[in-house]
């Protein structure tokens, strides 16, 4: 099994690629790869590049491209809009697992009761890249800037998603969440749950209330369960 590396940009016309310093160090010093060793590269946009090391320099390792393939993003797509947790490590854990399962997008959702409004975007991105490589995928989970709940409700991109769900704690009739053959988006609220006004607004926009089980879950656990149900079933 060839090791995977991430490169930010790729042009199919490229016949050779010089890895950045971090990738070069990991390949040459950590994995002890030498000239002639094969590896995989991906740009996180569907490309899988098989290459062979031609210059095993520890700071600017150079590889020759042998083969390039491209695959479409796996369907159905799953989008999770979730309120960031107060403890950032819990959000990081969720992102890692969602990426491993092939979730398309995780939106940090700013609700009335969201406690944490800021987080380290670069650190989160590095976690997503690492999870993509570890699970040997070629599509990087997309995480946009944090979005206000009211803005999400009127965003045309998300309004047109075929299956729209909302997990909240208010006692009402709810359907069991399950995998669909078409794309889905689910809203996961903060520890204090969505407000009555937010629930009403989502229902008016066509979001269906769903249950994630018989127990009350932490925000990140709810996100994990939702991802598993929608991606795996």
pLDDT tens, position by position, 145-172: 999 999 999 999 999 999 999 999 888 8
**The pLDDT of residue 27 is above 90:** yes
Query: 49-69, pLDDT tens digit by residue?
Result: 999 999 999 999 999 999 999
- Cβ atoms of 142 and 105 within 8 Å: the answer is yes
Task: Report the alpha-carbon distance of residue 48 to residue 42 in Å, rounded.
Answer: 5
Same domain, 141 and 192: yes
Task: Report the alpha-carbon distance of residue 146 to residue 81 in Å, rounded.
Answer: 10
What is the predicted pLDDT for the residue at 216? Answer: 86
Of 41 and 114, the structure prediction assigns the larger pLDDT to 41
- What is the C-alpha R_g of the chain? 20
Torsion of CA 89, 95, 98, 99, to 10 degrees: -130
Same domain, 128 and 221: yes
Residue 63: give its domain's CATH number: 2.40.240.20
The domain of 225 spans 78-231
Same domain, 136 and 178: yes
By percentage, how much of the chain surpasses pLDDT 90? 87
Same domain, 10 and 82: no
Same domain, 87 and 136: yes
**The pLDDT of residue 120 is above 90:** no
Q: What does the pLDDT average to over 117-144?
A: 92
Query: 74-104, pLDDT tens digit by residue?
Result: 999 999 999 999 889 999 999 999 999 999 9
Same domain, 121 and 189: yes
Same domain, 42 and 87: no
Of 35, 50, 70, the one marking the end of a domain is 70
What is the predicted pLDDT for the residue at 117? Answer: 66
- Cβ atoms of 129 and 6 within 8 Å: the answer is yes
Same domain, 107 and 218: yes
Per DSSP (E only), the strands in the chain are: 4-6, 16-18, 38-42, 47-55, 62-70, 78-82, 105-110, 147-148, 163-167, 175-176, 184-188, 208-211
Same domain, 84 and 11: no
Diameter over CA atoms, the chain: 63
Residue 89: give its domain's CATH number: 3.40.1280.10
What is the predicted pLDDT for the residue at 119? Answer: 73
**The pLDDT of residue 116 is above 80:** no
Count: domains in the chain? 2
Same domain, 115 and 174: yes
Same domain, 91 and 173: yes
Same domain, 59 and 144: no
What is the predicted pLDDT for the residue at 55? Answer: 98
Give the Å distances, CA to CA, from 39 to 24, 36, 48, 66, 116: 12, 10, 10, 10, 40
Of 18, 46, 70, the one marking the end of a domain is 70
Task: Report the alpha-carbon distance of residue 152 to residue 164 in Å, rounded.
Answer: 12
């Amino acid at each position: 099994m060839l090791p995977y590396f991430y490169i930010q940009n790729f042009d199919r016309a490229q016949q050779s690629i010089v890895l950045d310093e971090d990738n070069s160090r990991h390949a040459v010093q950590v994995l002890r790869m030498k000239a002639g060793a094969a590896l995989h590269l991906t740009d996180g946009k569907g490309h899988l590049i098989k290459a062979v090391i031609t210059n095993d320099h520890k700071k600017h390792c150079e590889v020759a491209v042998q083969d390039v393939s491209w695959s479409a993003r796996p369907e159905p797509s799953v989008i999770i809009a979730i309120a960031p947790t107060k403890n950032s490590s819990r959000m990081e854990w969720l992102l890692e697992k969602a990426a491993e399962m092939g979730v398309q997008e995780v939106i940090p959702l700013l609700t009335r009761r969201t406690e944490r409004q800021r987080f380290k975007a670069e650190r989160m991105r590095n976690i997503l890249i690492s999870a993509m490589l570890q699970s040997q995928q070629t599509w990087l989970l997309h995480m946009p800037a944090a979005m206000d709940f009211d803005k999400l409700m009127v965003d045309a991109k998300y309004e047109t998603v075929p299956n729209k769900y909302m997990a909240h704690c208010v006692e009402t009739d709810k359907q069991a969440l399950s995998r669909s053959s078409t794309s889905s988006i689910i809203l996961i609220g903060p520890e204090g749950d969505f407000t009555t006004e937010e629930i009403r607004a989502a229902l008016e926009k066509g979001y269906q209330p769903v249950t994630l089980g018989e127990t009350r879950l932490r925000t990140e656990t709810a996100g994990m369960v939702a991802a598993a149900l929608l991606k795996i079933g």
